[in-house]
Amino acid sequence: MRPFVYTALPARVVFGFGTIAQVADEVRGLGCRRALVLSTSPQRGEAERLAAQLGELAAGVFDGAVMHTPVEVTNEAMRRVGDLDADCTIALGGGSTIGLGKAIALRTDLPQIVIPTTYAGSEATTMLGETEGGRKTTQRTSKVLPEVIVYDVDLTLTLPRGLSATSGVNAIAHAVEALYVQDANPVISLLAEEGIAALARALPRIARDPLDREARSDALYGAWACGTCMGAVGVALHHKLCHVLGGSFDLPHAETHTVVLPHAVAYNAPAAPEAMARVARALGTRNAAQGLFELAREIGAPRSLREIGMPEDGLDRAADLAVASPYWNPRPIEREGIRSLLQAAFDGASPHTPALPTSPAETTHA
Ligand code: NAD
C-alpha cells in the first residue's frame, strides 16, 4: 500500500424513494424553523409543493437559481433571506440551485439541506463557482458544504433523457479522476469504482426507460458516490479542459464533460494504468477510454464538441488556456498532445492516446 492522507468530510445522507416527506424532520433536526426553499423557475412547482408540505417551517420560495451562480442572483436571494428572516435554506434541484444555496451559506453561514435532482454531485463538495461581470471564479471552503443531503429517487424520474445521460457521465468523470489524482486514497478509490459501476449499469436502462425506478435509484446512488469522490480529492486534466471549454466558450456543462471524458482518459492512460484497469472493470470493458466512448453512444449522448457548439477556430485558444495554468495531472500536460485531444473531441473521433512529446521544451509539468 502506498502512503496516503485521507480527510473525510462530514455528511448526513438520507437516501430512498419518497424521502422528501422526511425534510420537515431534517429542518427540525437542524434546530431551524424558517426555511427558504430554492429552485430554478422550471422547478418552481416542486419547490412550492415542498413549501406547502413544510407548512410553518417554510418561510418562502425563491425560484431564481440559474447556471453558473451569478452574484446578482445571489444578492437578490440574500434580500429574500433577510426579508423573510430565514434560518436555513433547502435547495431543490441540480448543480445550479445547489450552487445558489452554497453562495448564500458562504455569506451567512445558514445551514443547508439539499435535495439533488440531477447527478452533478455539487451537494457533496466544498466547491463553489460564482460568476461576476461574466467571469467565473471557483473556490473551495468548508463553509459551503451542505449539512444534510436528502436524495429522493422519485424527484429524478422527470429528469429528461438527454440530461440524465450527460449528467450521469458528468458524475462518472468525478470518480474517474479521483482514481488518478495526486491525493487519491484507497477509501475514495473504492467509492469511485462503485459509483462508476452503478452509473454504467443504470444509464443505458434509463436511456431506454426514464421511468425505470430501480435504474433511477442505482444512478442516484452512483451520483452520490461519485460526488463524494470529487468532494474528498482533487481533479485533473479532464476537469481543467471542461472548465476552459465551459468558461471561455460557454459550452453546456454536462454535455462538455460527456464529450471530453473518453479523450482525457485516453491521454492519461499510459501514466495511470492502475486507475484505468479499475475504470475498465467498473464499466465491464477492457479499455477505459473506449468503454466511456461506447457508453456515450449507447445512451444517446453527444460525442463531439462540434455538435454542442464549439467553434473549430477556438481549439488553438482552448489548448493554450489548458496548458497555461494546468491542474496537477498524472501525465505531463503537453501542448501538441492537448491540441490533438481537443481535435479528436471536436470531431467525435474514437479516443486515442496522443504521441509523447518530441522535445522537452513542449512539455509543461503540472
Ligand atoms: P442544472 O442544475 O443547471 O439543471 C439544468 C436544468 O434541469 C434546470 O432547468 C433544472 O431546473 C432542470 N432540472 C434539474 N433536475 C430536474 C429534474 N429532476 N426534472 C426536471 N428538470 C430538472 O444542471 P446540473 O448539470 O445539475 O448543474 C450544472 C451546474 O452545477 C454548473 O453551473 C456547474 O458548474 C455546477 N456544478 C458545481 C459543482 C460543485 O461541486 N460546485 C459540481 C457539479 C456541477
Q: How far is residue 185 from each of residues 155, 233, 280, 330, measured CA to CA in Å?
A: 32, 8, 19, 15
Q: Are 110 and 81 in contact (CB under 8 A)?
A: yes
Residue 364 confidence (pLDDT) above 60: no
Which residue has its alpha carbon closest to ligand 1 atom 19? 159
Burial zone of 52 (CB within 10 Å; 0-12 exposed, 13-18 middle, 19+ buried): exposed
- Average pLDDT over all residues of the chain: 95
pLDDT band at 352 (very low <50, low <70, confident <90, very high): confident
Q: Compute, in angstroms, the gap from residue 96 CA to the centroid of ligand 1.
A: 5
Tell which atom from ligand 1 comes closest to the C-alpha of 231. 40
pLDDT band at 361 (very low <50, low <70, confident <90, very high): very low
How high is the pLDDT of residue 357? 62
Q: Compute, in angstroms, the gap from residue 185 CA to the centroid of ligand 1.
A: 28
Which residue has its alpha carbon closest to ligand 1 atom 28? 95
Q: Is the CB of 122 under 6 A from ligand 1?
A: yes
270-321 confidence digits (pLDDT tens): 999 999 999 999 999 999 999 999 999 999 999 999 999 999 999 999 999 9
70-115 confidence digits (pLDDT tens): 999 999 999 999 999 999 999 999 999 999 999 999 999 999 999 9
Q: What nine digits make up the cell of 62?
A: 425563491
216-225 confidence digits (pLDDT tens): 999 999 999 9
pLDDT band at 362 (very low <50, low <70, confident <90, very high): very low
pLDDT band at 356 (very low <50, low <70, confident <90, very high): low
What does DSSP assign to residue 70?
A: B
Q: Is the CB of 40 under 6 A from ligand 1?
A: yes
Q: Is the CB of 253 under 6 A from ligand 1?
A: yes
How high is the pLDDT of residue 266? 98
How high is the pLDDT of residue 355? 67
Residue 359 confidence (pLDDT) above 70: no
How high is the pLDDT of residue 34? 98
Q: Compute, in angstroms, the gap from residue 74 CA to the centroid of ligand 1.
A: 16
How high is the pLDDT of residue 134? 76
The helix (run of H) or strand (run of E) holding residue 139 is strand 135-140
Q: Is the CB of 117 under 6 A from ligand 1?
A: yes
Which residue has its alpha carbon closest to ligand 1 atom 15? 117
Q: Are 237 and 267 in contact (CB under 8 A)?
A: yes
Give the β-pairing of 135-140 and 148-152. unpaired
Q: What does the alpha-carbon distance between residue 264 and residue 276 come to, in Å, rounded to a whole number?
A: 12
Q: What nine digits make up the cell of 144?
A: 459551503
How high is the pLDDT of residue 169? 98
Residue 366 confidence (pLDDT) above 60: no
Q: Are 265 and 289 in contact (CB under 8 A)?
A: yes
Mean pLDDT of 250-275: 97
> To test the ligand 1 pocket, which listed residue (62, 92, 115, 117) has its Cβ within 8 A of the most ligand atoms?
117
Tell which atom from ligand 1 comes closest to the C-alpha of 43. 11
Mean pLDDT of 122-129: 96
Give the β-pairing of 333-334 and 363-364. antiparallel
Contacts of residue 32, Cβ cutoff 8 Å, sequence gap at least 6: 57, 87, 88, 111
Q: Which domains does the chain have, with CATH numbers?
A: 12-156 (3.40.50.1970), 161-362 (1.20.1090.10)
Q: Compute, in angstroms, the gap from residue 66 CA to the centroid of ligand 1.
A: 9
173-188 confidence digits (pLDDT tens): 999 999 999 999 999 9
Q: Compute, in angstroms, the gap from residue 119 CA to the centroid of ligand 1.
A: 8
Q: What does the alpha-carbon distance between residue 353 and residue 231 come to, in Å, rounded to a whole number?
A: 28
Which amino acid is it at 136?
A: K
Residue 196 confidence (pLDDT) above 80: yes
Q: State the greatest distance between any 2 C-alpha atoms of the chain, in Å, as a whole number.
A: 67
CB neighbours of residue 276 within 10 Å: 22
* CA 100 to centroid of chain Cα atoms: 15
Single pTM value for the model: 0.95
301-333 burial code (b ≥16 CB/10 A, e <16): bbbebeebebeeebbeebbebbbeebbebbbbb
Higher pLDDT among residues 235 and 362, named by residue: 235
Q: Is the CB of 129 under 6 A from ligand 1?
A: yes
